[in-house]
Structure 1
Amino acid sequence: MKSKSLLYLILFSALVAGGASCTKLIEEFKSELEEGSTNVDPAGLLITAYTSLNTPYQQEQRWVMQEISTDAAMAPTRGGDWDDNGMHRAIHLHTWNADNGYMNNTFVSLGTAIYNATNVLRFSPSQQQGAEARFIRALAMFDMLDLYGVAPIREGASLEDFRIAPEVLQPQAAIEYIEKELNEIIAQLPNSDTKSAYVANRNAAKVLLMKLYLNKGAFLNRQAPTFAAEDMNKVITLAKEITASGFYSVSAAGKYFDNFAPDNDTKSTENIFTLFNKNGERGGNVDRTWNTIAHYNMRPGGWNGWCTLSDYYDKFAANDERRGIYYNYPADTTSNRSKGYNRQNVGFFAGQQYNWSTNEPLQARNPANTPLIFTREVTIRTSGATLETAGIRPMKYAFDYGVTGQRNNDWVVYRYADVLLMQAEAILRGGAGTALEALTLVNSIRLNRGVTPFVSLTLDNLLDERARELYWEGWRRQDLIRFGKFLQAWQEKAADPDPKTLVYPIPSQQIAVNPNLSQNPGY
């Protein structure tokens, strides 16, 4: 009975997330649960809720909408590859519409996470299990609010009767709901450290609250955000509480990529909340961090797709550890490590690439015998001699050669460095603290990354520091909107003619099945 009920729950969650209904399935589903609801294990449902986050977060869906829409990332069409009816190009160019595949796929995935988390609460979870589920729900609702400007949720009657459309919370109501949820559950969450970062914990809830307060003004007025001193002081207080827990420190020099390593669950000093990936157990999609950027002839071969832009790459000093190093880690079983070639294996891949078995220069595949030299120059449509080589390729998660199948790198959602950067920003935006205090916070990160400390701190160089520290972690769009720069022109993207792009359209498919949804202005 338990396994069949759980199967219904998993299959049904995507359907109900958007408000669609299927009478026969609903009746079978409800009958099954009513017949033996005491046999439904809330622990299993909680794992399902956690796993719901892997697809939108791990360099797919939500990640695409947060990064490829910015100056940090692009998915160029390479000849006939990566065209997909212009879906990827539209995200970078800000020419998307409500029928773009990313709109609906991400909406459904986040809606599924919200539903799966809420569903845990129906089956008598322990106090901690219920708190973890509510954290997952709050996280997914925050993303909905950030991306689409609304937060749908099924509770009460609509959770029991799927013919009732989900409620849709507008920005102020969504902010208040998320804030209330997090404040109610913090004390019920485990007070765990970096070794259990894949479990929702008190400090993770505090980081989410920090992000809520810091972005509140942008969520309420995206064209002209305001930053209330009260909200900024809450950000600062929460940051100090996280620091006072004693669990975290900025990674030491040479250890930045520990946060993203296959064994980051044991060696990171920064990770506050992560998504679990373990070979043979659970997880998924973390391989996309490699596949989306790697050339076919690299080891392992990838799909030769996404890249960054040279202006973004140029934000990094040559000696900035974050730009790229040879990272010595146990799961590297190639000759690059065993024979001491020590070729760069993490960070931004630019210039000539090498075979990590022979240490010989790699060649492109088409045109054949062309050196595999990743170039600074890239256009959103590439062809000819640079078809396979255009664009600098960021790789943040060191590849796990030690396993076949699912890699063991846990995906980083929240890190301590982000906490310090948000604290500094809140001070600059009028919160309690001095300019020197904010500067010291940022320089504590820069010194450990091997770069010269700032002499002074402004919003502009703080935004650039966030670009360096948090590249390809899924925050760039949110940052650019908060700093008032998302509508500006950058490489391969003209200035936005219409501020409607500060929020994504509600997917057409979702409006068709949920009468409580209405399209965002301009779409």
Structure 2
Amino acid sequence: MNYIKKIALLIPTLLLIACHDDLDQTPIDPDSFTETNVFANADEAKGALAKLYASLALTGQQGPAGQADITGIDEGTSQYSRLLFSLNELTTDNAVVGWGDPGLPNLHAMNWGAGNDFTTGMYYRLAQEVSFTNSFIENAQLLNDNAEVEAYIAEARFLRAFAYFNLMDLFGSVPLVTVVSTDLPEQSTRAEIFNFVEGELLEIQNTLKESGANEYGRVDRVAAWALLSKLYLNAEVWTGTARYTDAITYAEMTINSSYSINTTDANGNGSAYDELFLADNNTNGAQNEFIFALNFDGNNSRTYGGTTFLVHAAIGGSMDAFNFGVNGGWSGLRTTKALVNKFDAAVTDSDDEGNPIAWSDTRAMFYTDGQSFEINTIANQFTDGYAVTKFTNIDSNGAAGSDTGGDFVDTDLPIIRLAEIYLTYAEAVLRGGAGGDVNTAAGYINELRARAYGNTSGNITSSALTLDFILDERARELYWEGQRRTDLIRFNDFTTGNYLWPFKGGSRSGTAVDEFRNLFPLPSNIILINTNLTQNPGY
């Protein structure tokens, strides 16, 4: 991961800054490791490829702090999946956080501005990924007629498409830059970004390795199919043109690949679902469901983002951090009753006030002891709202992760897993996509529910499969995995009064907000630097 030299980035313009000719010299120091060395052959290029994956999982050259890849934001906060959680979960019914970091309370209140640290940080993080991938692709292409390097380039193009998928979802119209340049880029429309992502994925699908043939943690062609299915599912929102038939096509290709739903209950607790979020989820069977995941290791890839954040930040109150394989909690993240209520059909026990405290659906992973069902105060009140126990640093045998100090977590984070594609298929069928079948869709949903319940008691009939059911089922299956805001926008529930949750819009009972909040603002300093760009409406 350190094979790439530290590169100067002009992040606000989505550019990689090229060195001036008079500075572009071969170092005299024989110990220096330069771009020439990095791309000397396929083996060295593979090390550079690792940096492209690492820039999504980690935050800099040193880790967990020091030599950050981007500046202007706390390094741990700047990690990709932590920012994704902040923008796609904290803005919804799935999560609240009690910390008062500047810009953080504004996310759940849905009143962020163009200078918000978290929206700005995400733009920078994704811009950096675009810069790194552009540089890699340009240099790796010089290694001619090497099939292995061609596969590396296809992976880099997938990661660049993935970065633009996120930029399009979160920010809408952004610059489209595919080469290393010092020119200030023009702004591309959301539809143009969509077309670019689609074209890249279609072009590289057969160059990527066969299903399951790549190293764990690296993408194969199924990742391209899965991302295409996600892209087409959201096409009507992002381009105005429905593409549900295409969503079905690529969901089916994904489902028919070598990946499979994890049904292994390795720890013998009656649930195969929790295996997906344990410290050994790279080996306990869960990995067979992970189409694209970020890899973490408590000793070798340390960050204050990733699953280290998801585990530590969700522990507080009377919770015992030892039971989660870490040395303490950060007393931050909880959930709202709106998410808890999605499991109403599975409630098996309630407290004296009638609030649910036990469920037959094992996906309802909530800590209730000493926690209130209602949230009266978000700030600094960890006991307001149920805690979430979904992510832990305990393996299937009950042992803690590899970091003996208990600071950093081994648990990998699925970004795309097969269960999501089951749900994508079902939704696309219900939205009128051709080529799908509602009975098949119900079968996929029941496969997930049978895993969750441990039997068929939660199974549904095809007549019960509605769009509202799918939205709720996505919440039950995918909460805290960075999906919720995108889902709510697709169902027209994110900003409208159609669906309210506690403290939506800053109101205790929830209130609608302006429609422009469906997009985040381009960072204010980017607008100042690049006059080719126009700010999103409302900001």
Normalized against structure 2, the TM-score is what? 0.78
Residue 454 (structure 1) aligned to one of 456, 460, 479: 460
The 1:281/1:303 distance shift into structure 2, 3 A limit, reads: closer
Taking only the aligned residue pairs, the percentage that are identical comes to 30
What residue number does 1:312 align with? 339
The 1:127/1:380 distance shift into structure 2, 3 A limit, reads: farther
Q: Identify which range, 436-445 or 499-508, moves more after superposition.
A: 436-445
The 1:130/1:423 distance shift into structure 2, 3 A limit, reads: same
Is 2:177 aligned against 1:154? yes
- In 2, Cα distance between the equivalents of 1:478 and 1:57? 20
The 1:427/1:152 distance shift into structure 2, 3 A limit, reads: same
- In 2, Cα distance between the equivalents of 1:26 and 1:399? 47
What one-letter code is carried by the residue in structure 1 that aligns with 2:331? N
Partner of 1:454, secondary structure, is coil
- In 2, Cα distance between the equivalents of 1:124 and 1:257? 40
Aligned length: 453
Q: Comparing both structures, which one devotes a greater share of its residues to helix?
A: 1
The 1:471/1:29 distance shift into structure 2, 3 A limit, reads: farther
Residue segments in structure 2 that go unaligned for 5+ positions in a row: 28-32, 40-44, 59-77, 142-148, 265-269, 322-326, 347-358, 395-399, 505-509
What residue number does 2:259 align with? 247
What residue number does 1:390 align with? 384
Deviation readout 1:84-109 (Å, 9 max, x if unpaired): 23x22211111111011111111000
How far residue 454 of structure 1 moved from its aligned partner, in angstroms, is 2.0
What residue number does 2:372 align with? 375
What residue number does 1:471 align with? 479
Is 2:80 aligned against 1:61? no
What residue number does 1:265 align with? 282
Is 2:435 aligned against 1:417? no
The 1:220/1:21 distance shift into structure 2, 3 A limit, reads: closer
Deviation readout 1:322-376 (Å, 9 max, x if unpaired): 11xxxxxxxxxxxxxxxxxxxxxxx22112xxxxxxxxxxxxxxxxxxxxx1221
What residue number does 2:402 align with? 403
What residue number does 2:308 align with? 287
Deviation readout 1:398-425 (Å, 9 max, x if unpaired): 2142322542211110111101100001
Deviation readout 1:174-197 (Å, 9 max, x if unpaired): 111111101111111122439944
Residue 128 (structure 1) aligned to one of 141, 145, 151: 151
How far residue 434 of structure 1 moved from its aligned partner, in angstroms, is 3.2
Residue segments in structure 1 that go unaligned for 5+ positions in a row: 77-81, 324-346, 352-372
The 1:28/1:155 distance shift into structure 2, 3 A limit, reads: farther
What residue number does 1:321 align with? 362
What one-letter code is carried by the residue in structure 1 that aligns with 2:474? R
What residue number does 1:71 align with? 93
What residue number does 1:441 align with? 444
How far residue 45 of structure 1 moved from its aligned partner, in angstroms, is 2.2
Q: Is the 8 A contact 1:120 1:133 kept in 2?
A: yes
Q: Is the 8 A contact 1:75 1:307 kept in 2?
A: yes
- In 2, Cα distance between the equivalents of 1:397 and 1:440? 27
Q: Is the 8 A contact 1:59 1:289 kept in 2?
A: no
Q: Is the 8 A contact 2:56 2:81 kept in 1?
A: no
Residue 119 (structure 1) aligned to one of 135, 139, 147: 135
Q: Is the 8 A contact 1:70 1:92 kept in 2?
A: yes
The 1:8/1:307 distance shift into structure 2, 3 A limit, reads: same
What one-letter code is carried by the residue in structure 1 that aligns with 2:502? Q
Q: Is the 8 A contact 2:259 2:290 kept in 1?
A: no
What residue number does 1:361 align with? none
RMSD: 2.7
- In 1, Cα distance between the equivalents of 2:524 and 2:26? 32
Partner of 2:96, secondary structure, is coil
Deviation readout 1:264-311 (Å, 9 max, x if unpaired): 112213111101212443353221011211117632311101110012
Q: Is the 8 A contact 1:196 1:265 kept in 2?
A: no
- In 2, Cα distance between the equivalents of 1:296 and 1:31? 57
What residue number does 2:47 align with? 44
What residue number does 2:162 align with? 139
Q: Is the 8 A contact 1:272 1:414 kept in 2?
A: yes
Q: Identify which range, 51-60 or 373-382, moves more after superposition.
A: 51-60
Partner of 2:363, secondary structure, is helix
Q: Is the 8 A contact 1:94 1:496 kept in 2?
A: no
- In 2, Cα distance between the equivalents of 1:111 and 1:21? 9
What residue number does 2:30 align with? none
The 1:519/1:380 distance shift into structure 2, 3 A limit, reads: farther
What one-letter code is carried by the residue in structure 1 that aligns with 2:360? N
Partner of 1:413, secondary structure, is strand
Q: How does 1:486-497 map to 2 (within 5 A)?
A: 486-487=494-495, 488=497, 489-493=500-504, 494-497=510-513
Q: Identify which range, 508-517 or 66-75, moves more after superposition.
A: 508-517
What residue number does 1:482 align with? 490
How far residue 153 of structure 1 moved from its aligned partner, in angstroms, is 3.6
How far residue 211 of structure 1 moved from its aligned partner, in angstroms, is 0.8
Deviation readout 1:415-450 (Å, 9 max, x if unpaired): 111011000011001112333232222112111210
Deviation readout 1:30-66 (Å, 9 max, x if unpaired): 4459x96532233222111111112566651122100
- In 1, Cα distance between the equivalents of 2:486 and 2:21? 41
